[in-house]
A and B are shown apart, each in its own frame.
Chain A
Amino acid sequence: MNVAVKATSSSNRTGYKSFELGSFKFSRDEYFVYIEWRSKKGRMTHYMSADAFLRAMMRDVAWGFFYYQVNFDHVFGTNNLYGRVQMFAGSYNETFKAQGLDLIETFETPQIMATFQAILADWTNAGFDPFAAPAETTTDWLGKKHGNNDTAINRQRQVSKRMVGLPGDTPIRTDANGYPVNRAFADVDQSQPEIHAEKGYEGRVHGFNLFAHLSRSDVTWNPSVTSVCKQSLFCPTSEEYILPIKHGNDRVEWFIQLSDQILWDVEDKATGRPRAKVVMKAGDVAAMPADIRHQGYSPKRSMLLVWENVNPRIAEMHATGEIPPYPIKF
């Protein structure tokens, strides 16, 4: 699908283009991104630091708008309707909503995806990797436009059909295929399981080192799919610093902390009111209910297993109250 993106020519002052999608306008300068919309009470402008905006938009694009809600911060974000995407400002902020200052508009997915990709491509300077931890990239996100980093922003999320390492499936990460061990996981054992398959069973007797695989991830906060049990997906990921978005669930999501620790801020999905802080250490398991949004803080690069249910009816079942937002009653 060929989609036209509405963009200005490059600014003669900063070098960056400005963009429009529906009633929303996006522009940036040396430090900040500006999002404008027209509410029932008049024009509104929201500001974000450009690095925070680019890190958030990188996840929204890489995840294909993910499972429902991606909040760039307390004001701006998107809702995935799986075929269409809502873009909003203030709609899930209690004060903006109550004061009638919010706006939500719906777009066909290819339209908003093309616009977000164009913004990322134009606003990501050479040297800045929005997928990387701050210690691993540069401050090239700031200043006037200088080059681009298409290699970094066009990485493809790895999605296994059955299991990593099986013939025809996602390959095991190695130095040779471009995945060196991350500096923060230099002490992680790299041995592979001993596989003793009898003749004729080579493809069925199989295993791999998941922790070594994660130690070689070249991105942060970007789950891959490593094993598939019908509608149950293991989506492990390596995390460092702050999850650049607040994820609002349309289903219950589970976290299993495989190494180190992550601190989670949990807020009400509709209002943003704080609900809890969840401190997860190695071996901890916790559900993230279907009516919350969450943001993680990982003091050291850590391994997190995100466990997803891809039942195609699950979002509707929660939305209609057919099933509760909490997975377990005890």
Chain B
Amino acid sequence: MGDFVTVFGSLGDYEKGHIEIINDDPKNYAFSNVFEVASKAKPYEKVAVGKNQQNLIEAIRAEGDSPWYTCAHDEFALVMDGEVEVHFLDIAEVDRAPKDKEGNIAIKGQPKGKKMGHVVLRRGHQALLPANAAYQFRARRPSVVLQQALEGENTIYRWSEICLK
């Protein structure tokens, strides 16, 4: 260890920054904090904290087991706080998202498929959510995930609640 202390945030310990306006509107920056967003969210609500056309970054409070999801393209999950398992199933083509559909879709109930395996993610760990697989998040304690995703039917928008004004 050296003389440096690296500061990460967590659900229980974060400090939100701020904007000092000179000649602008703070809304132009859509400024939020992922730990604050997750602290006020229900488990597995996918709350958009970044949007660039159809591209999204979603903040997710992981707690307990999530629904199973699937997606026609790759997405990625980055754990910002806590510990999250991601379990994967190789599902039949009929159960997958349509090839041209963007964003992830929730699967009702327990999907059928061959077990692909699972990953255990802690702070800073990022997992591939591979196209056409089904995946489920499992967290024993409240954790925070950032998902690199595309706009989909599970996305929730709360800009006026989460952004500095």
Contact = CB atoms under 8 A, between A and B. Distances in A.
A88 B117 CA distance: 54
Nearest to A278: B19
A167 B14 CA distance: 36
B100 to A, nearest CB: 12
Interface residues of A, number: 76
Given A278-B31, A286-B29, A300-B4, A309 B122 contact: no
A284 B20 contact: no
B117 A261 contact: no
Nearest to B56: A232
Interface stretch (B61-69, B72-80, B91-99): B72-80
B127 A206 contact: yes
Contact of A283 (B14, B29, B115): B14
Given A230-B55, A283-B33, A276 B24 contact: yes
Interface residues of B, number: 71
B105 interface: no
Contact of B57 (A162, A212, A277, A285): A285
B33 A232 contact: no
A256 interface: yes
A232 B119 contact: no
Given A232-B52, A285-B33, A257 B124 contact: no
CB-CB nearest 5 A-B residue pairs: A211-B124, A283-B9, A330-B159, A207-B127, A232-B55
Interface of A: 162-163, 166, 183-189, 191-198, 201, 204-212, 215, 226-232, 234, 251-252, 254, 256-261, 266, 273-289, 300-301, 307, 309, 311, 314, 323, 325-328, 330
